[in-house]
Structure 1
Amino acid sequence: ALCFRSLRVFSVFNVGSTGIRNYAKLKYTREEKQKMRKEQQQKLWKALNERDEAERCNIAALIGSISKNMSAPKHSHQESDTHSKEKFSVPTSLDEVKELLKSFLFHKSPDKAFIRELLVKVNDIFKKERNIIRFPCLDDSQTLSIVGDIHSDLEDLQEIFNTAGWPSKENLFVFNGDFVDRGQSGIEVICVLLSLKIIFPSSVYLLRGNHEDSNLGKAYGFFDEMFRKYKSKNLYYEMEECFSYLPICALLENQLFIVHGGLPRNKKTTLDDIDSIPRSKFTEVVSGAAKEDHNEEEQKHREILEDLLWSDPDPYKNGTRSNTKRGAGSLFGTDFARTWLGSINVKTLVRSHECVEDGYEEINCGDGYRIYTVFSSSNYSGGTNLGAVLRYSKNTEEPQILQFEAKEPRSIQDIEEYNQKSLTELICKSYKELCEEFGSHDTESLITLEQWNNGLSRVLSLDIDWKDAIDIEPFTKDAPEGHINYKEFLEQFSVCGVNSDDTRKVELFAKHEQLAAVFKIFDIEKDGRVSKREFITACNLLNHYLPKEKQTTNSAQLFELADHNKTGDIDYEEFCALFERKV
């Protein structure tokens, strides 16, 4: 495996006392400096996570492009459980759901029979629901609690119920998508929610998020979680089929529009357009297919669904535009929000999809219109944020904000370490492109700091002030004022044990995540190795998505070339080496 010279690389990043070096000459108190340091690191953490989201979206599209014609095998190669499984019965009461959650919190997982029985029962309920859940006005005794992203976190799910209470006829719930991925307990979280749906079909509603997607689950970890626990691809596809039956959004009459991501980019899109989407056909929204591969109606439906699940508000710019930071959906301004919400006679949009520091965020759109973001995974993905639930009562324009924190936040030192590692890996992966970018300005290894900063931002698609993130003094001390020795800088990010002139290995490292995704498709039996039969089958399919000059003309011969140790199959390292030669 390739690794980094971490001690050398990490030393170039601004951490600890050097992380606030820009503030040192100013008379700030220690507390103010620490606050600035924390804000700087949290801003960088958010930028890195947004970039990761876009990159994984691209990987999901790659998976979709290769696998869209590869149906899941009717019988899994191996169907044995690898974890200790409990024999549960599908709950028939709230008390039984509470016991189920308690068992899951003690690291017990349900067996396949329980999951399949649960899916059979709940799918019948979902299939009867429309794309848009329509709530009439709430009764005096009723409340509606809206829960944001949970992302496989059982502790947060428990804290949600501790904070907002359990569902009942009076305490209605909308769970606004993103139940799985990015964690280790996605199957347990979704089993609790599906059980509640069975017991309270008119009080609990689950809306689809962008992570309830067959391709995205393979890029973010839900696929790996399920295969690790159950050694079954079939079970994953059965769960993803269930996700395709989930309603898309909800409407509280004359009051709220609730959806995971945002609004459709076409202001003429109506509620009838949304309701007409055959949602069960879209087990994946990020398909990787070209527009011409879909007929006009399917493309229209896919675009609306993508916008509803992937889009974000932008309070600083009017209109709509492509959501390049995520790689899917659109960005919409407050003017657009006013127009579209007005067309459906509501004043408030409640959405999730974005981690916000306080667990919720309000955007005032003017003229009484507003957008709320609610996020319910506390200290998400190693960050420092509260979780929240929004609770509405009859005729209330502003929700009650219920905040919680299910686990201890990571220290600022831990966040800095995460940021350092992420930046290091990012620069290493883009080593070749950065050499070319900086080399285009080369005057004896020197470029201006502006060229260096802009080059990093452009190549890495990360718009930050790099002088705040990296200690540049070692690379500027012998250079003319305003310049940096970019070759000395890049040398700190060479891959351990790999000469920077070994372009094949450098390029291999740059593509290792994409190669890992492709390997999952080639490895049909999911046993960690690719047999000759699997390789030939997948090569024939892959040829449909490669330009003619990169297609495989003799896959059997190519397999023999890759199988260095002549075992009759190839492992990931052999596969990467072969793929690097071809692609």
Structure 2
Amino acid sequence: MNIQDLEDMGCGTSSATKDKKSEKALKAALVIQNWYRGYRARLKTRQRYALTIFQSIEYADEQGQLQLSNFFSFMLENYTRVQEKEPGLVTRLFGSSIQDKDRQDYLGLIEVPDSYCGPRLQFPLTFTDIDLLIEAFKQQQILHAYYVLEVLFETKKVLQQMPNFTHTSTSPSKEITICGDLHGKLDDLFLIFYKNGLPSVSNPYVFNGDFVDRGKNSMEILMILFVSFLVYPNDLHLNRGNHEDFMMNMRYGFTKEILHKYKMRSVLMPPIPMDGDRAEKKNKLGTTIVAQGIRTSGSFSEQLTKQEWEQVVDILWSDPRGKRGCYPNTNRGGGCYFGPDITAKILNKYQLKMLVRSHECKPEGYEICHDGKVITVFSASNYYEEGSNRGAYIRMSSGTTPRFFQYQITRATCFRPLYQRVNAIESSAIRMLKERMISRKTDLTRAFQLQDRNKSGKLSMGQWAFSMENVLGLNLPWRSLSSHLVTTDKDGNIDYMSGFQDVHIQKPVKEVQSTLIETVYRYRSDLQIIFNIIDSDHSGLISMEEFRSMWKLFKSHYSVHVDDSQFDELAERMDLNKDGSIDFNEFLKAFYVVHKFDKLNKSDNKLA
């Protein structure tokens, strides 16, 4: 019997059946693959929207920070008038506790006890001290204040001898590593050094600023970078970021970290108009910053003009965008946006090939724009939330294209499925956004009601989105976010008050009007910074008179429309023991947002 006979008897059907089964399996695999790709794409879209919320709120807060800086400038401009009305308050706001002491005077005030078991640095510093410091910080040890001061004084001395712009060179056999924002995330720095090696003559680094704030180990990062800089001053380059600024530090955590770890404070305020001798001494110490062109009577060379001040702000706060030209940075409230034409013009003018900058969190740790001429690198992974973004650094050398190295510090989340990680990020972002909404409830309600001419309690999607953006100014995709924030009827109309149903600001006093509560909650960070400056004796208390005076000055500059009698009533009720003083930090803690539903990331509640 031959093969043909077997096929005629039906024995050949098994091959055809296998082919059909294989075809079905292939089609099923393609269907599953396409579904999974779509599923991941939807998750990535949700993650991208969450990151947009985080970033928009971050930039809005930075606008508030710049407004607070303007408040202190307002105080300076109106110094004479304010001093006549509130002399005690002005003295506490602008009086400096910094005295004209040299290095040994300060170090002589501090002793290192024999019981101290942390790292002991030896000056002049060597590579051994870098290694010693890193190993100590890995063990959560804290460097003693004596050594911190020594490092700071020595770093200041070396920096003062260097130009504002530094030059470095590479070769095909010698690369340079560029790192972006670290923001107190010490584990990211450890990982960079583990993967890329410690700084050395043969392994130079550039750190692009924003070393501090937000993370909990800003001091440790500064100490490692400063010690490395002192050992290799020609091979480790430190650029200033917008967070290397004492005003930013008071809002975003570095000042609080110093107080927690060292129980000491040095808050430097803009200079007040004073006699030339005292102003000159302060300038020699390098402790004064002239805000917006306000001058003391010191020499011209020691003061910033308004134009110079604006240039510094532009350098530290600006961001690239796809639109041509140079226009105000409306998101951050400071600096500018610059387009590809501006980049090309500047690079051509100074015969440069590329701009490598930082300052913006990117989901993948870096981003290339402006026809490859601008690179943004961001080295703090999990910046907003665990799993929110990767970190990256760049290696470059002469005649080669940049090489990017990505990473992400993971702990608990690394064992969770992607959808759970996205849900957690999304939930945190929506929670922050709802807190933003409730802090503007009165303004939002008024805007909704102006659109709701029929008094139906409902708006179209377009009307609701317009009102949200008009009041909050966050530049968010409101239509896509609506399912997380409000309820919608079968006709697609939005019940606009439903956005406030599951969240409210806790009232410390029931009788106080909601408008005042919202105002205090909205400006709580600004008020806390001002209070911490006023609290020069570190008592934690502020007198009722100072409390009222501070509020009146703040209200005047911020154009807050709240009746003084309401605030006075609130102040009286918050003085629980009736001793004429208020614990202002405790006062602010009394204003907090209560979420009715903590778990916002339900399986059927999606952004995309």
TM-score w.r.t. the length of structure 2 is 0.72
Q: CA distance change for structure 1 residues 492 and 167 in 2, over 3 Å: closer, same or farther?
A: closer
In terms of mean alpha carbon deviation, does 99-108 or 341-350 score higher?
99-108
In terms of mean alpha carbon deviation, does 93-102 or 125-134 score higher?
93-102
Cα deviation for residue 159 of structure 1 reads 1.0
Cα deviation for residue 177 of structure 1 reads 0.3
SS at match of 1:133: coil
- CA distance in 2 between counterparts of 1:47 and 1:394 reads 39
2:515 alignment counterpart: 503
- CA distance in 2 between counterparts of 1:533 and 1:485 reads 44
The correspondence for 1:180, drawn from 212, 224, 227, is 212
Q: CA distance change for structure 1 residues 320 and 421 in 2, over 3 Å: closer, same or farther?
A: same
The correspondence for 2:154, drawn from 121, 133, 137, is 121
In terms of mean alpha carbon deviation, does 437-446 or 376-385 score higher?
376-385
2:312 alignment counterpart: 305
Q: Is the 8 A contact 2:487 2:498 kept in 1?
A: yes
- CA distance in 2 between counterparts of 1:30 and 1:372 reads 32
2:249 alignment counterpart: 217
Q: Is the 8 A contact 1:131 1:279 kept in 2?
A: no
Q: CA distance change for structure 1 residues 463 and 542 in 2, over 3 Å: closer, same or farther?
A: closer
- CA distance in 2 between counterparts of 1:309 and 1:279 reads 24
The correspondence for 1:51, drawn from 51, 57, 76, is 57
1:244-255 equivalence runs, <5 A: none
What is the one-letter code of the residue matched to 1:45?
A: L
Once the two structures are superposed, what CA deviation does each residue of 1:233-256 show, in whole Å capped at 9, x if it has no partner?
A: 12x659x9xxxxxxxxxxxxxxxx
Cα deviation for residue 406 of structure 1 reads 3.0
1:226 alignment counterpart: 258
SS at match of 2:45: helix
Cα deviation for residue 188 of structure 1 reads 0.6
Once the two structures are superposed, what CA deviation does each residue of 1:378-414 show, in whole Å capped at 9, x if it has no partner?
A: 2222143222221121233x21222222334672122
Once the two structures are superposed, what CA deviation does each residue of 1:210-235 show, in whole Å capped at 9, x if it has no partner?
A: 1001111111111111111112112x
Give the fraction of aligned pairs with identical amino acids, expressed as a percent: 27
* 1:459 counterpart = 2:471: yes
1:420-435 equivalence runs, <5 A: 420-435=430-445
Q: How many residues align?
A: 500
1:256-335 equivalence runs, <5 A: 298-315=305-322, 317-335=323-341
2:135 alignment counterpart: 102
What is the one-letter code of the residue matched to 1:374?
A: V
In terms of mean alpha carbon deviation, does 154-163 or 496-505 score higher?
496-505
Q: Is the 8 A contact 1:177 1:208 kept in 2?
A: yes
Once the two structures are superposed, what CA deviation does each residue of 1:96-119 show, in whole Å capped at 9, x if it has no partner?
A: 212211211221111211111111
1:244 alignment counterpart: none
Cα deviation for residue 209 of structure 1 reads 0.5
- CA distance in 2 between counterparts of 1:71 and 1:54 reads 30
Q: Is the 8 A contact 1:100 1:192 kept in 2?
A: yes
1:275 alignment counterpart: none
In terms of mean alpha carbon deviation, does 100-109 or 317-326 score higher?
100-109
1:14 alignment counterpart: none
Q: Is the 8 A contact 1:360 1:388 kept in 2?
A: yes
Once the two structures are superposed, what CA deviation does each residue of 1:267-309 show, in whole Å capped at 9, x if it has no partner?
A: xxxxxxxxxxx99969769x5x5x6789996111111111111
* 1:131 counterpart = 2:171: no
Cα deviation for residue 80 of structure 1 reads 12
What is the one-letter code of the residue matched to 1:329?
A: G
SS at match of 1:233: coil
SS at match of 2:133: helix
Unaligned runs of 5+ in 2: 1-32, 77-92, 100-105, 271-282, 415-420, 592-608
Q: Is the 8 A contact 2:541 2:583 kept in 1?
A: yes
The correspondence for 1:391, drawn from 392, 395, 401, is 395
- CA distance in 1 between counterparts of 2:530 and 2:426 reads 32
Q: Is the 8 A contact 1:179 1:212 kept in 2?
A: yes
Cα deviation for residue 36 of structure 1 reads 1.3
Cα deviation for residue 35 of structure 1 reads 3.0
SS at match of 2:176: strand
Q: CA distance change for structure 1 residues 575 and 404 in 2, over 3 Å: closer, same or farther?
A: closer
- CA distance in 2 between counterparts of 1:208 and 1:389 reads 17
Aligned-residue CA RMSD (Å): 4.1
SS at match of 2:204: strand
What is the one-letter code of the residue matched to 2:312?
A: L
2:235 alignment counterpart: 203
Unaligned runs of 5+ in 1: 1-26, 241-277
The correspondence for 1:148, drawn from 171, 180, 186, is 180
Cα deviation for residue 433 of structure 1 reads 0.8
What is the one-letter code of the residue matched to 2:56?
A: E
Cα deviation for residue 172 of structure 1 reads 1.4
Q: CA distance change for structure 1 residues 279 and 437 in 2, over 3 Å: closer, same or farther?
A: farther
What is the one-letter code of the residue matched to 1:466?
A: W
Cα deviation for residue 477 of structure 1 reads 2.5
1:406 alignment counterpart: 409
Q: CA distance change for structure 1 residues 432 and 517 in 2, over 3 Å: closer, same or farther?
A: farther
* 1:73 counterpart = 2:130: no
What is the one-letter code of the residue matched to 1:381?
A: Y
- CA distance in 1 between counterparts of 2:43 and 2:258 reads 39
In terms of mean alpha carbon deviation, does 376-385 or 556-565 score higher?
556-565
1:112 alignment counterpart: 145
Cα deviation for residue 199 of structure 1 reads 0.6
Q: CA distance change for structure 1 residues 345 and 198 in 2, over 3 Å: closer, same or farther?
A: same
1:515 alignment counterpart: 527
Cα deviation for residue 324 of structure 1 reads 1.0
1:379 alignment counterpart: 382
Q: Is the 8 A contact 2:486 2:496 kept in 1?
A: no
2:274 alignment counterpart: none
In terms of mean alpha carbon deviation, does 166-175 or 500-509 score higher?
500-509
- CA distance in 2 between counterparts of 1:465 and 1:31 reads 23
2:428 alignment counterpart: 418
Q: Is the 8 A contact 2:119 2:132 kept in 1?
A: no
- CA distance in 2 between counterparts of 1:340 and 1:28 reads 45
1:566 alignment counterpart: 578
Once the two structures are superposed, what CA deviation does each residue of 1:74-96 show, in whole Å capped at 9, x if it has no partner?
A: 489x9999xx9836325622232
In terms of mean alpha carbon deviation, does 32-41 or 342-351 score higher?
32-41
What is the one-letter code of the residue matched to 1:399?
A: P
- CA distance in 1 between counterparts of 2:394 and 2:575 reads 56
